[in-house]
Amino acid sequence: MVANGMTTETSKQLRGVLKEHEVLSRHTSWRVGGAVKRFYQPADIEDLSLFLSTIPANEKLYWLGLGSNLLVRDAGFDGTVICTSGVLNSVEVLDEQRLYVEAGVACPKAAKVSARNALTGAEFLCGIPGTMGGALAMNAGAFGGETWDIVESVQTINRQGELTTRSPNEYEVGYRHVSGTFEEGEKGEEWFVSCVLKLAPGDADESQSKIKALLNKRGASQPTQQPNAGSVFRNPENDYAARLIESCGLKGTCLGGACVSDKHANFIVNTGTASAADIEDLITKVQQTVKEQMGVELQREVKIVGEQ
């Protein structure tokens, strides 16, 4: 398929899958979201580089992994979405301490490959319901571990398709926050396409048992059987968003098909009929109620994109 802004010659060279007007509810963990103008799944990093070099400079661009931690509005997204999940999917053991992981690899897969190869330190990744690209972008965490605690280096790509290798000291990393300290200049924003994780030699059986225990803990405390996007709000300093929400009596509160989970108050679930508007309205209701009753302004962890 030839997309707007591409020449026929260039598009013939692309090896990925290009779709127009793809409905994003098929690609988000909340199972909601309207259509996107263009949707591209690159064949590999080289193909991604070529694709980026072809898109217009003023085209809106969004990167999508497993679609967790994301709410796409019902009117969709008037731009291009690049989906890395399942395509930038290489995991490679480099030596007894390092693991190479591409951005489209699901975090639980990275944890399991690490454990099978007797590398320890990445077990917590099994609790992150997204890809490594998303985990790098927001310093995702679970079970007391955070992504950038184990990053040795990252590979980034810019809008021109140029690749750069960077070290952690080139970023400001905080709780659910990452920003570059380098000058982006005229080249614009960079996105993560792979990383090298610095781990430690361990015992494969021990690491695999730890992952199994962590997954059981997650299943017991989170609504993993219903469509959700993970934790909706960041934990305030020295407190927990779930505690605040539950203290306000909001567990089980519904708007349309969207409900605050009875299992974990910092999760909003789609009971089967929710629209993106239902979810966004419920997020706002929770924020307003917690502010009024507890005096705390909850900050969203989930990203909201698309047209109102």
SS3 content of the chain, % helix, strand, coil (to 5): 30, 30, 40
State the Cα–Cα distance between residues 203 and 138, nearest whole angstrom: 29
State the Cα–Cα distance between residues 130 and 102, nearest whole angstrom: 13
- What's the half-sphere exposure (Cβ side, CA atoms, 13 Å) at 63? 27
List helix spans (H) across 42-171: 45-54, 107-116, 132-138
What sign for the dihedral angle of Cα 269, 273, 278, 282? negative
Burial class (CB in 10 A: 0-12, 13-18, 19+), 304: middle
For 83-122, letters b (16+ CB in 10 Å) and e give bbbebbbebebeeeeebbbbbbbbbbbbbbbbbebbbbbb
State the Cα–Cα distance between residues 26 and 41, nearest whole angstrom: 14
Give the dihedral of Cα atoms 129, 288, 274, 228; nearest 10 deg: 10
CB 51 within 8 A of CB 40: yes
| DSSP-assigned states of every residue in 263-281 | S-TT-EEE-SS--HHHHHH
Q: What positions carry a catalytic annotation?
A: 176, 231, 301
179: enclosing H helix or E strand: strand 177-180
CA proximity to 193, closest of 95, 101, 126, 61: 101
CB 155 within 8 A of CB 120: no
